[in-house]
A and B are shown apart, each in its own frame.
Chain A
Amino acid sequence: MNIVVCVKYVPDAQGDRTFNEDNTTDRANVDGLLSELDEYAVEAALKIVEAGEGEVTVVTVGPEQAADALKKALQMGADKAVHVSDEAIHGSDAVATSLVLAEAVKKIGSPDLVLTGLSSTDGTMSVVPAMLAERLGLPQVTQVSTLEVADGTVKGRRDGDAVSESLEASLPALVSVTDQINEPRYPSFKGIMAAKKKPVETWSLADLGVDAGQVGLDAAWTKVESFAQRPPREQGEIVTDEGDGGTKLAEFLAAQKFV
């Protein structure tokens, strides 16, 4: 069972979020990490391979620093990594990202399973998995909280607000997983030391045969016109209880539509 896991390098949510002059997210000058939601996909892949056999390849599209996301996945136990990095990719939207990922997955080989997280923790669009499946011509089983691979099929459960759906598809397939599916492992010292010797390939758009005009900010279907920092939080209202504290509290909650 050969599995490709698509991962993203995202700004650390605990740090300051900044933007470039062209209104794209600054990924180069901030602390970044492997998108936490992608850790669940890496863990799911490792569990499948550990229970049987095969190889886990992680792939990312991103700037030079995105190699850190791959390193984390390798430390967790993935076997090899592919980093697609090209100046021309800067500012790509989900459509272009899915194109680059699709070509990268094809070049890696024909995996039995392509895994992704639920969404990125920075863009939070959740559309790349579906787009990628379309481009690869694979059945898509998205947003599942369980995953079982057996006899050439993949089964998973998608939990909605009202119903839970049991989904099944034949392999090869693309599956996106939620943060309910497992508890991602943290790299052990062994994993950290072993990762240093694992192969990481870096590919450009030319290596993938993708025309630079199809990706990047200029090719994006949508454009961020402007951005503004959220105004700082204002100090809360202090109510002095003069016998009517309860009433005032209830009024406040009602005004905020909490009750």
Chain B
Amino acid sequence: MRGMPQSLEQLFALDGLIQDDEREIAKAVRHFVDERVRPHIAEWFDTGEVPARELTKELGELGVLGMHLDGYGCAGLSATTYGLACQELEAGDSGIRSLVSVQGSLAMYSIHAYGSEEQKQEWLPRMAAGDAIGCFGLTEPDFGSNPGGMRTRAKKDGEDWVLNGTKMWITNGTVADVAVVWAQTDEKVRGFVVPTDTPGFSAPEIKRKMSLRASVTAELVLEDVRLPASAVLPEVQGLRGPLGALSEARFGIIFGAMGAARDCLETAISYAQDRQVFDKSLASYQLTQAKLADMALELGKGQLLALHLGRLKDSGTITPEQVSVGKLNNTREAIAIARQCRTILAANGITLEYPVIRHANNLESVLTYEGTSEVHQLVIGKALTGAEAFR
């Protein structure tokens, strides 16, 4: 029996959960990805070169950068809308979504939430327009899940601050105009707005990555970087600052990961329908259908979870534990879907002719950045038991 195939969205009737505005915005991002990302992404991934500045400008013109922030040239849209945009971007490539996450949720959010009026005026409109690129320096070569141990130091010298240290795995690092750098002071961890042309600041690119190849990753080296008193983010002290920004970025990943998974599953379904094995399509074998059905369930559940968390965030009641629930589940399921889809495409699945291995490799990073799966398990474990098991 042949029936009219349904789309993944139809199967879960997701459309009814999304408002008109949200749908329009998501459609605009999908169009952008179709026009500007899909035709080039295999080459960018293959060569490890991405026109980040050009893309940032175009994303700024579209309105994506800092779209969930209010004022200063930002679009002021809801968290759910931002999530849906992340889903469409990551259906293109996790690297492109990372660019947007770092710009909007890490760099811009930090300045928006913790910055002085002067810092906001100076940077946010340009960053929203895509004329200035931002990066975010928290992780260090020896401090990932334990950022509190950071060795980067900011010392007072008269009115000035002098920064020394190294930050690692910094998305947008080599192309950034401004870096939000977190450093240990004599008291607490403080955030600094560092123009990247400040003497002593350098950002060597990290090469030879097998994941997020269509994304710029750098190390930030700070050697006696002298900053005026006005460079410090005045409104926050302690790790609460960077962790707040990370929670924002994680929220985008909850949706984004499902975008990558959706792209893989759509590819696998279409491939299975076309591919003839023995005398019929791969899609008409029971083992293929079992795989597709199981993956569709996880995708749909992950998307429902993302939308639920989006509504919670828009109502202002979301907790960090709930963000951990979404990040852990959706990145873990996304990479499982990508790998399973690869088995349906078999050898074709390992090439850049199809998006599957690219997504799978990207998701290796997405699984562990912005809090590893293990850290999120511990966050949830603590929420359930009351006992901290981080160390």
Contact = CB atoms under 8 A, between A and B. Distances in A.
The judgment on whether A and B are partners is yes
B21 A188 contact: no
A186 B28 contact: yes
B286 to A, nearest CB: 28
Interface string B32-56: 1001000000000000000000000
A187 interface: yes
Nearest to B32: A186
A186 B24 CA distance: 12
A192 B64 CA distance: 12
A253 to B, nearest CB: 28
Contacts of A193: 21, 75, 77
A190 interface: yes
Contacts of A188: 28, 61-63
B31 A186 contact: yes
A189 interface: yes
Contacts of A192: 21, 24-25, 28
Interface size band for A: under 10
Contacts, number: 29
A189 B88 CA distance: 14
B22 to A, nearest CB: 11
A250 B75 CA distance: 59
B132 interface: no
Contacts of A187: 28
B39 to A, nearest CB: 15
Interface in A143-202: 186-190, 192-193, 196
A187 B63 CA distance: 10
Nearest to A195: B24
B328 interface: no
B67 A189 contact: yes
A190 B65 CA distance: 12
Contacts of B63: 188-190
Interface string A80-101: 0000000000000000000000
Interface string B15-26: 000000100110
A-B complex: 5 closest residue pairs judged by Cβ atoms: A189-B63, A189-B75, A188-B63, A192-B24, A188-B62
Interface of A: 75, 186-190, 192-193, 196
Interface of B: 21, 24-25, 28, 31-32, 35, 61-64, 67, 75, 77
Given A188-B61, A189-B62, 13 more contacts: A75-B24, A187-B28, A188-B28, A189-B63, A189-B64, A189-B67, A189-B77, A190-B63, A190-B75, A192-B24, A192-B28, A193-B21, A193-B75
21 contacts: A186-B28, A186-B31, A186-B62, A188-B28, A188-B63, A189-B25, A189-B28, A189-B62, A189-B63, A189-B64, A189-B67, A189-B75, A189-B77, A190-B63, A190-B75, A192-B21, A192-B24, A192-B28, A193-B21, A193-B75, A196-B21
